[in-house]
C-alpha cells in the first residue's frame, strides 16, 4: 500500500526485496485518494485528485517493472483511508493465490509523545482489520533518525 510517490513507498519496495530475497516477484500497488472538505468544492478537484493518485501509482508500477517485477496499480477514492484500503485489499485478494499485504510505518529514533501524535496509525489499524479478515499483512518499519538541534 502506498500513499504518493515518495521515499517511504520506494523504501518499502526495496525492503521487501531485502527481507524476502527472491520471494516476491509480483506487486499490486494500492492507493487511496482522500476526499476531504477541500475536495468537495467541485468535480474538477475530485478529478484532479484521481489523476494525481493514478500518476503516483503509474510511477510505482514503472519502477517495479524497471526492477524486473510484474506490477499493476489499483486505486480508490473515499473519505476514510482505512475503509477504502480494506475494500481494495478484499477486491484483489481473489486474484492472487498467495498474497501478503505490505504497509510502511515511520519508526522514529527516540520516539516522543509528539511523534506518536503527529504520525498516524493507519498501518496498525488496517493490519488489525485485515488480520481478522484472514489476510496476511506485514508492516515495514521505515527508520527516521532525529537530528539534535
Structural domain span for residue 91 = 7-144
pLDDT in tens, 73-109: 999 999 999 999 999 999 999 998 889 999 988 777 7
**Residue 149 included in any domain:** no
| pLDDT for position 112 | 66
**Residue 2 included in any domain:** no
**Residue 16 included in any domain:** yes
The partner residues of 24 in beta bridges, in order of sequence, read: none
pTM of the model: 0.86
Integer Cα distance of 70 and 83 in angstroms: 27
**Residue 1 included in any domain:** no
**Residue 102 included in any domain:** yes
**Residue 115 included in any domain:** yes
Q: How many domains does the chain have?
A: 1
CATH code, domain carrying 138: 3.40.50.620
pLDDT in tens, 26-66: 999 999 999 887 656 778 888 999 999 999 999 999 999 99
Query: For the CA atoms of 101, 74, 3, 140, what is the dihedral angle to 10 degrees?
Result: 10
> Where does 1-149 have alpha helices with state H?
7-19, 43-66, 81-92, 113-118, 122-131
Which is nearest to 140 in space by CA: 114, 84, 102?
Answer: 102
Amino acid at each position: 500500500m502506498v500513499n504518493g510517490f515518495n521515499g517511504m513507498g520506494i523504501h518499502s519496495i526495496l525492503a521487501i526485496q531485502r527481507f524476502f530475497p527472491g520471494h516476491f516477484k509480483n506487486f499490486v500497488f494500492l492507493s487511496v485518494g482522500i476526499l476531504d472538505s477541500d475536495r468537495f468544492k467541485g468535480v474538477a478537484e475530485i478529478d484532479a485528485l484521481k489523476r494525481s493518485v493514478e500518476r503516483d501509482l503509474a510511477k510505482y508500477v514503472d519502477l517495479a517493472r524497471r526492477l524486473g517485477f510484474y506490477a499493476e496499480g489499483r486505486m480508490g477514492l473515499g473519505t476514510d483511508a482505512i475503509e477504502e484500503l480494506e475494500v481494495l485489499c478484499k477486491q484483489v485478494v481473489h486474484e492472487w493465490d498467495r498474497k501478503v499485504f505490505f504497509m510502511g510505518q515511520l519508526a522514529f529514533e527516540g520516539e516522543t509523545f509528539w511523534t506518536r501524535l503527529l504520525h498516524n496509525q493507519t498501518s496498525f489499524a488496517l493490519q488489525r482489520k485485515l488480520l481478522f479478515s484472514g489476510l496476511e499483512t506485514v508492516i515495514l518499519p521505515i527508520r527516521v533518525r532525529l537530528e539534535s538541534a
